Amino acid sequence: MQKPVIRPRRLRQSVAMRNQVRELNVHPNELVLPVFVREGISEAQEISSLPGIYQHTLDSIRGVVNEAAKAGVGGIMLFGVPAERDAVGSGATDPDGILNRALRVVAEEAGDAITVQADLCLDEFTDHGHCGVLDSRGRVDNDATLERYTEMAVVQAESGAQIIGMSGMMDGQIAAARDALDDAGHDDAVLLAYSAKYASAFYGPFREAVDSQLQGDRRTYQMDPANRREGILEARLDIEEGADIVMVKPAMSYLDVLADVSAESQVPVWAYQVSGEYAMIQAAALNGWIDRERAIAESIVSIRRAGADAVLTYFATEYAQALRAF
Ligand code: PBG
Rg (CA), the chain: 20
70 is catalytic: no
What is the reported pLDDT for 240? 98
Query: Above 90 in pLDDT, residue 12?
Result: yes
Best residue among 206, 207, 214 to mutate for probing ligand 1, ranked by most atoms within 8 Å of CB: 206
pLDDT of 172-215, one tens digit each?
A: 999 999 999 999 999 999 999 999 999 999 999 999 999 899 98
- Length of the chain (residues): 326
Cβ within 8 Å of residue 325, ≥6 positions away = none
**Separation CA 39–CA 91 (nearest Å):** 11
Best residue among 36, 123, 202, 215 to mutate for probing ligand 1, ranked by most atoms within 8 Å of CB: 123
**Separation CA 222–CA 211 (nearest Å):** 20
**Separation CA 326–CA 306 (nearest Å):** 23
- pLDDT grade, residue 237 (50/70/90)? very high
**Nearest residue (CA) to ligand 1, atom 5:** 167
What is the reported pLDDT for 78? 98
**Nearest residue (CA) to ligand 1, atom 10:** 203
> What is the crossing angle of helices 255-264 and 292-305, to 10°?
40
How many domains is the chain built from? 1
Query: Above 90 in pLDDT, residue 325?
Result: no
Closest ligand 1 atom to Cα of 168: 1
Angle, CA 247 vertex, CA 244 and CA 253 arms, to 5°: 170
Closest ligand 1 atom to Cα of 206: 14
Query: Above 90 in pLDDT, residue 70?
Result: yes
**Nearest residue (CA) to ligand 1, atom 6:** 167
With respect to residue 17, please indicate whether it lies within any of the assigned structural domains. Answer: no
Would you report the helix, strand and coil content of the chain in percent, each value rounded to 5?
45, 20, 35
ipTM of this model? 0.97
- Can you tell me the mean pLDDT for 107-125? 96
- Can you tell me the mean pLDDT for 294-311? 98
Of the listed 249, 255, 258, 310, which one is catalytic? 249
Domain housing 94: 27-325
HSE of 167 in the Cβ direction (CA atoms, 13 Å)?
Answer: 25
With respect to residue 145, please indicate whether it lies within any of the assigned structural domains. Answer: yes
Name the β-bridge partners of 47. Answer: 50
Q: How far is the CA of 291 from the centre of ligand 1 (A)?
A: 27
Q: How far is the CA of 241 from the centre of ligand 1 (A)?
A: 22
With respect to residue 187, please indicate whether it lies within any of the assigned structural domains. Answer: yes
Both ends of the chain: CA-CA distance in Å?
A: 43
Who lines ligand 1 at CB under 6 A?
119, 121, 123, 167, 203, 206, 218, 274-275
Q: Any idea what the CATH number is for the domain that residue 58 is in?
A: 3.20.20.70
What is the reported pLDDT for 140? 97
- pLDDT grade, residue 272 (50/70/90)? very high
Q: What is the mean pLDDT of the chain?
A: 97
Q: Is 297 helix (H, G, I), strand (E, B) or coil?
A: helix
Of the listed 56, 148, 178, 197, which one is catalytic? 197
Query: Above 90 in pLDDT, residue 75?
Result: yes
Q: How far is the CA of 12 from the centre of ligand 1 (A)?
A: 40
Look at phi and psi of residue 165 and say left if phi exceeds 0, alpha if psi is from -120 to 50, else beta: beta
With respect to residue 281, please indicate whether it lies within any of the assigned structural domains. Answer: yes
3 is catalytic: no
- Can you tell me the mean pLDDT for 307-321? 98
Query: Above 80 in pLDDT, residue 326?
Result: no
**Separation CA 202–CA 32 (nearest Å):** 18
Query: Above 90 in pLDDT, residue 42?
Result: yes
With respect to residue 1, please indicate whether it lies within any of the assigned structural domains. Answer: no
Closest ligand 1 atom to Cα of 204: 14
With respect to residue 18, please indicate whether it lies within any of the assigned structural domains. Answer: no
Q: Is 61 helix (H, G, I), strand (E, B) or coil?
A: helix
Closest ligand 1 atom to Cα of 122: 16
Q: How far is the CA of 274 from the centre of ligand 1 (A)?
A: 8
**Separation CA 260–CA 317 (nearest Å):** 28
Q: Please choose, from the candidates 54, 81, 50, the residue with its C-alpha nearest in 3D space to the C-alpha of residue 67.
A: 54
- How many of the other CB atoms lie within 10 Å of CB of 311? 23
- Can you tell me the mean pLDDT for 37-48? 97
With respect to residue 50, please indicate whether it lies within any of the assigned structural domains. Answer: yes
Q: How far is the CA of 26 from the centre of ligand 1 (A)?
A: 24
CA distances 234 to 166, 172, 199, 219, 318, Å, are 13, 10, 14, 15, 32
**Separation CA 89–CA 148 (nearest Å):** 9
With respect to residue 8, please indicate whether it lies within any of the assigned structural domains. Answer: no
- Can you tell me the mean pLDDT for 254-270? 98
Q: How far is the CA of 184 from the centre of ligand 1 (A)?
A: 27
- Can you tell me the mean pLDDT for 309-318? 98
**Separation CA 147–CA 153 (nearest Å):** 10
Cis (ω within 30 of 0) for the bond into 205?
Answer: no
The answer to whether the CB of 240 falls within 8 A of the CB of 269 is: no
Name the β-bridge partners of 79. Answer: 36
Closest ligand 1 atom to Cα of 218: 10
HSE of 96 in the Cβ direction (CA atoms, 13 Å)?
Answer: 1
